[in-house]
Amino acid sequence: MSRVLVTGAAGLLGRFVVDELLSRGHQVRGFDRRAGKADIEWQVADVTDPAEVRKAVKGMEAVLHIAAVPNIWSGDGQTIMRVNTLGTYTVLDAAEAEGIGRIVFCSSDSVAGYTVREGRMLPPRHAPLGLEHPLQATDPYAISKILGEDLCRAYTLRGMSVVALRTVFVAYPEMAGEIVARAKDPAHYKGPAVGGPSSAGGGPLHHHIDPRDLARAFRLALERPMPAGAFERFYLSARVTLSPEPTLARLRRLHGDAVEVRDPSVYAREPFAPLYDLSHAARELGFVAEFDQRHLLAGLPGFENN
């Protein structure tokens, strides 16, 4: 059992992470701009406030840093960079001062640069896409996650151990209507269209991950044995996309032959496998997604036979 601070604990993802940690016997303190529903200790404050963050880390053994502006539609560039980058620095600095040795940072697959058209995204160079792929972020949110990872790496050079989880779009229960609306009319979908908290995401390939799976990945990252000074990154996704087209067919239609297919066997086994190489997470984190949301799309035009 560990004493764990979860920043952003009252948010859409934080609530799942808190529940997962509690179910495994961890002691949790929640930090957010409002208190959540979980029966834990709450500190209500802003993650960019050094004094409040220093109070929050007192007595903790690890920090799961989730608090952030969650996408480019949730704030302008200045706000995203201030909250996401300064907030991450503030958490790392306070954690180091408290002697905390483990941080789990909520990063994003957007660091690879292939998620948001509004961000002038660049096509991937190859598939599957793993840690060797260059980081090609162009929008403020994705750039803030690269900077966040850079900050994490800097603190590992000072002795902290950090895991950065590069998650795809999280398909919360509140997003089900948006996912269906996009699938019904992908050419004209502009969300949020049916009351969801944001647009259905996941980039051109409609990647997604179930929040229960992602919460488990956070717990595994917390519990993973690591030496002082270690830094790990993992791409995380469901094992299938929400696209009506198989992955390679969609990549070819969108980008011709520009995307090198390095391991066709991945897509021969599962035509709707994600762009990202999930083998590293399976091997080193012990994480394989258990859930996906393709069942929401069963019977819709384009999804009848897949």
Structural domain contains residue 301: no
Name which of 9, 49, 51, 12 is nearest 29 in CA terms.
9
CATH code at 233? 3.40.50.720
Two structure tokens written together for 158: 């000072």
Residue 119 confidence (pLDDT): 74
Residue 187 confidence (pLDDT): 87
Structural domain contains residue 63: yes
Question: Using CA atoms, how far apart are residues 31 and 65, in angstroms rounded to an integer?
Answer: 10
- Burial tier of 269 (Cβ tally within 10 Å: 0-12, 13-18, 19+): exposed
Q: Which domain holds residue 128?
A: 3-171+210-238+274-290
What's the structural domain count of the chain?
A: 1
Structural domain contains residue 112: yes
Determine contact, residues 94/50, Cβ cutoff 8 Å: yes
Residue 165 confidence (pLDDT): 98
Structural domain contains residue 144: yes
The vertex-175 CA angle with 173 and 179, nearest 5°, equals 120
Structural domain contains residue 117: yes
Structural domain contains residue 201: no
Alpha-carbon separation of residue 35 from 11, 46, 119, 171, 191 (angstroms): 9, 12, 32, 23, 28
Question: Using CA atoms, how far apart are residues 102 and 88, in angstroms rounded to an integer?
Answer: 14
Structural domain contains residue 205: no
Per-residue pLDDT of the chain (306 residues; tens, 9 = 90+): 699 999 999 999 999 999 999 999 999 999 999 999 999 999 999 999 999 999 999 999 999 999 999 988 899 999 999 999 999 999 999 999 999 999 999 999 999 999 987 778 899 999 999 999 999 999 999 999 999 999 999 999 999 999 999 999 999 999 999 999 999 999 899 989 999 999 999 999 999 999 999 999 999 999 999 999 999 999 999 999 999 999 999 999 999 999 999 999 999 999 999 999 999 999 999 999 999 999 999 999 889 777
14-23 and 211-223 helices, crossing angle to 10°: 60
Residue 87 confidence (pLDDT): 98
